[in-house]
Amino acid sequence: MARLNIVKVGDDVLRKKCRPVIQITPRIITLLDDMAETLHEANGVGLAAPQVGVLRRICIVECEEGQLYEMINPEIISREGEQEELEGCLSVPGKWGYTKRPLTVTVKATDRNGNEYQVTGTGLLARAFCHEIDHLDGVIFTDNAVRMLTDEEIEELEGE
């Protein structure tokens, strides 16, 4: 496994729409493994392929240690409720903002073995699913932010 470079805001790759994965190859499996290692080393909650410079519809989410969701060609199939919470992004370091997201979402995706599955997430997990799937369409959380935190608010948050 290898730690990948996380692309930062300003790089055009973050604004491009990703292509679907047609076939799960050893290269895709390696990408999933490398993305997981990169996510863990960065202490993140989720990571999408374009964040590591790959324009494929692949993302991973891990809100609870040991519960890693690998999602190939993910699609949100239902949304319920609403939440407005603080979000950040590994590709937008040092910036935080409040976004409105569904409280609960159900995602249909394919795993590394080619099996289609569905998973429902609420709260942070729902936000993470939405955030990472947005990346696959060239959308960054700042596009959806209701309000970005000021530098002073971020400093206060970091002090807690």
DSSP class of 82: -
> Which value, to the nearest 10 degrees, does the dihedral of the CA atoms of residues 77, 64, 45, 104 take?
30
Q: Nearest Cα to 88, choosing from 122, 50, 47? A: 47
DSSP class of 38: H
In the residue annotation, 132 being an active-site residue is answered as yes
Q: Which of 37, 132, 153, 155 is catalytic?
A: 132
Look up tokens 């910036």; give the residue.
95
Catalytic positions are 132
